[in-house]
Amino acid sequence: CIRQKSVSSYMTMRNKDVRRSHISEKKFRQLVKLFSLDLDAIQISELSHLNRNTVNRYLKIIRTRIAELCEIESPLSGEVEIDESYFGAKRVKGKRGRGASGKTIVFGILKRKGKVYTEIVPDASRKTLQDIIRGRVDMETVIHSDGWRGYNGLVDLGYKKHFRVHHGKNEFARGRAHINGIESFWGYAKTRLSKYRGINKNAFYFHLKESEFRFNYRHENIYQILLEIFRNKPLN
């Protein structure tokens, strides 16, 4: 009877989803369920009755795994929209548009009817953006962008189908030429991240990738997707 109780107690602390876990599988899955609902660490701690530091530790490793997966899954072919956006500090007076001071620049590629891929960049120069495009986008891809000069020369690189809309001329669509999809993602990501009221610069990348992941699987059961990911490769 004593032996049975000991084995039972041990089993409740086993966790197939996390190596060297200090919480039970049941409690970890509750945490993942609450995370999938997009609750923050304070809310998860209160609802799960887990220590806040414990919650933060697990959220960090979950976001790290999500970021790793997002780097693998990138849109490569078909029809894509490209654009860059600015996150973070408020605009400094006199600094407008691209290159606004104090902001983090993010470049995005969205495959129409598919997923989005994002990358933090040091600037929005032609060389920086073209280097990413060449590494992520197949030459046969149809590319849609706005009129930013950083996208000049894509045809010279071998991308024969590059269509543009010129926002500066109040043009937002020309037939199939538009970037409404990637702009929809920017709106989603900024609205979602605003609830944190400021994110540490070192953590921004992981929150950005989490937004990317949630957007890509917004029509699916994120909880079940995460469990399958952790089942196939347990967290460390």
Mean local confidence (pLDDT), 208-223: 97
Mean local confidence (pLDDT), 128-136: 95
Q: Is residue 210 classed exposed, middle or buried when 0-12, 13-18 and 19+ CB atoms within 10 A define those classes?
A: buried
**Per-residue confidence at 177, pLDDT binned at 50, 70, 90?**
confident
What angle is formed at CA 116 by the lines to CA 111 and CA 212, rounded to 5 degrees?
A: 165
* Whole-number Å distance between alpha carbons of 178 and 180: 6
Residue 96 near residue 86, CB atoms below 8 Å: no
pLDDT of residue 75: 72
Q: Who wins on pLDDT, 168 or 120? A: 120
pLDDT of residue 12: 39
pLDDT of residue 8: 34
Tell me what the pLDDT averaged over the chain comes to: 86
Q: Which of 165, 167, 215 is nearest to 190 (CA)?
A: 215
In this predicted structure, which of 148-152, 199-203, 217-221 has the lowest mean pLDDT?
199-203
What global pTM score does this model have? 0.85
How do residues 93-119 score in pLDDT, each as one tens digit?
Answer: 555 455 556 799 999 999 999 999 999
